[in-house]
Amino acid sequence: MLGAELVARAPADGHTLMICSNTLITLPAMRSDLPFDVFNDFAPVIELGGTPTVITVHPSFPARDLKQFIEVAKQTKAGVNYNSPGIASPPHIAGELFARAAGIPLVHVSYRGTQPAVSDLVAGHVPVMMAPLNAVLQFINDKQLHPIALTDAARSKYLPDVPTLREAGLTNMPPVTSWFAVLTTGGTPPGVVSRLNTEIAKILHDPKVQERLASQTFEIKGGAAEELAKRMRQDAATNAKVVAEAKITAE
């Protein structure tokens, strides 16, 4: 929020940029005291891309596919604990949507960051995680964790054999991914925003940049500023509904 406020209050000349995750667009649904307006104080520039979210279980969890997972969850009256990198993070939102779409009791355990959440999953302290793929891929490859399904719209080239939730049979849930974007100060002239979009797109196509991002399972998106603006508003509406229904509050 501190960084976002600085960008929101900067001169509208395109010289101050922010890389943010889509957690930013969920803040208005959780807090009424934001020192900025997410949709008026920022100018969307370009979506950089994102990393998939994968429903990941510890080997001790008695399920190896979505059908088995749902059956186990329905038999667990107290609910199945799952963790995420933090409150209202995209994996948390994915977990809440998943629970409602599948009609199963899931209990969110919030962590302050991805690393401690993954560590406790690998140790078996928490049975399930809605996990950013880059944080768990090595553990999956080493058979220390098992992937159930991706919450994204399409399969990942890094886990080609793991289906999306829709492919696995859960068709009433919108896809959820962790995406990242570049914003600048609201009111920045359209020509400046367009130039920023063009130059950042060139960077995203640099082979060295692509190689580095690929090593983090980051899937590059790009696209026009208008496409990012549309996505921000659509996802914000979806997330606001989830926040209200799940009574998610900021810590």
Q: What values do phi and psi take at 107, rounded to 5?
A: -115, 115
Query: What's the rounded mean pLDDT across residues 204-228?
Result: 96
- The reported pLDDT for the residue numbered 18 is 98
- The reported pLDDT for the residue numbered 211 is 96
Q: Please write the tens of the pLDDT for every residue from 9-56.
A: 999 999 999 999 999 999 999 998 999 999 999 999 999 999 999 999
Enter the pTM of the model.
Answer: 0.90
- The reported pLDDT for the residue numbered 1 is 86
Query: What's the rounded mean pLDDT across residues 206-225?
Result: 95
How many Å apart are CA 244 and CA 94, to the nearest integer?
A: 14
Q: Which DSSP string corresponds to 131-192?
A: EEHHHHHHHHHTTSSEEEEE-SSS--TTSTTSPBTTTTT--SS----EEEEEEEETT--HHH
- The reported pLDDT for the residue numbered 251 is 63
Other CB atoms within a 10 A radius of the CB of residue 110 amount to 15
Model confidence at 249: pLDDT above 90: no
What is the chain's length?
Answer: 251
- CB 53 within 8 Å of CB 178: yes
- CB 185 within 8 Å of CB 7: yes
Q: Please write the tens of the pLDDT for every residue from 94-130.
A: 999 999 999 999 999 999 999 999 999 999 999 999 9
